[in-house]
Amino acid sequence: MRALEGLDLRVAGGGVFGLLGPNGAGKTTLVKLVLAIAFPTAGRARVLGRTPGDIAAKARIGYLPENHRYPSHLTGKQVLHYFARLSGLRDPERSRRVASLLKRVRMDAAGDVKVHRYSKGMMQRLGMAQALVNDPELLILDEPTDGVDPVGRREIRDLLLEQKERGTTIFLNSHLLSEVERLCDRVAILKEGRLVREGSVEDLTRPGGSYEVRAHRLRPDGLAALRAALPGLVVAPPPPPGPAGTGAPGPAAPSETLLQLAGDRAALNRLIDALRAQGAEIDAVVPRRQSLEEVFVRVVGEGEP
């Protein structure tokens, strides 16, 4: 059985690239090949212009593996000092770097706490600091927000976007597709060791094939006729009322109907023509953008070519 086959992938510098796929798709194998932890039986790879395993290239890479572990008797600060020494940093620069990183990941108050007392979220934050300790040009992250609460995920996302602004190239593995969609410029989807889709997040989630239409003054018998004429049409329930005094949107007006149409532009125009023929007033027509999760499920789960 081949873990990867026929994979041809190029990641441009300075952006955030997401590698997606179900368990067993070959994502971790690819990372191990790039880092020279595993070795290919055929083919070749280049990392920062050098062969995988080249010492000069590895010195410019930061890596956070999934389920990382540190010696439990060390404090967070001692862990970072250890990795900073491995990266060749000397005092006083090393101490300044460690203090700065602990502050960036909001762990400065826990720097002197031994890691066996850390929660999963705290371990992820410490792992992010460790991956950044050598100020890398390439940052490779495997599930960086696993086990982190929503506030922590947002803070890590902001940290990565800040790192991107500094010019770091970020290569990200994650099953949290909503996070990938917010962070990544481009993504690749692997399935059974093969590359099945690649492109920018904007292109992959581009609107098309689905629309929302808001209309007034639709008669019940008119709705039945529309459903019969357009099989991809769904009448959506009205939104729930917002809490009093919060400014949240309340329910749609009694005469307003929200229609969801799965179809192309020709189907949309047939719907609009039918609404006008019934005397309905059209308030809005909005193309519906797909989520990255929807794209992933279609490509991987349903086998879309």
Q: Which amino acid is at 240?
A: P
Per-residue model confidence (pLDDT) at position 265: 85
Q: What is the pLDDT of residues 64-117, one digit of tens each?
A: 998 899 999 999 999 999 999 999 999 999 999 999 999 999 999 999 999 999
pLDDT at 115: 96
- Burial (CB < 10 A; 0-12, 13-18, 19+), residue 45, is middle
CA 138-15-106 angle, to 5 degrees, is 65
Topology of domain 16-204, CATH: Rossmann fold (3.40.50)
Q: Which of 187, 221, 219, 209 is nearest to 293 (CA)?
A: 187
Q: What does the pLDDT profile of the chain (305 residues) look like in tens digits?
A: 688 888 899 999 999 999 999 988 999 899 999 999 999 888 889 999 999 989 999 999 999 998 899 999 999 999 999 999 999 999 999 999 999 999 999 999 999 999 999 998 899 999 999 999 999 999 999 988 887 888 888 988 999 999 999 999 999 998 889 889 989 999 999 999 999 999 999 888 876 678 889 998 887 788 888 888 888 888 876 555 544 444 444 444 457 889 988 888 888 899 999 999 988 999 999 888 778 888 888 888 866 66
Q: Dihedral angle at the C-alpha atoms of 117, 121, 126, 127, nearest 10 degrees?
A: 120
Residues 6+ apart with CB under 8 A from 41: none
Cα–Cα distance between 17 and 205 in angstroms, integer? 16
Q: Where are the domains of the chain?
A: 16-204, 210-239+251-288
pLDDT tens figures, 131-155: 999 999 999 999 888 878 888 889 8
User: Rounded to whole angstroms, how far apart are CA atoms 192 and 2?
Assistant: 9
Q: pTM here?
A: 0.78
Query: Which CATH code fits 210-239+251-288?
Result: 3.30.70.260
Exposed (0-12), middle (13-18) or buried (19+): which is 175, by Cβ within 10 Å?
A: middle
Q: Which two tokens stand for residue 189?
A: 């989807």
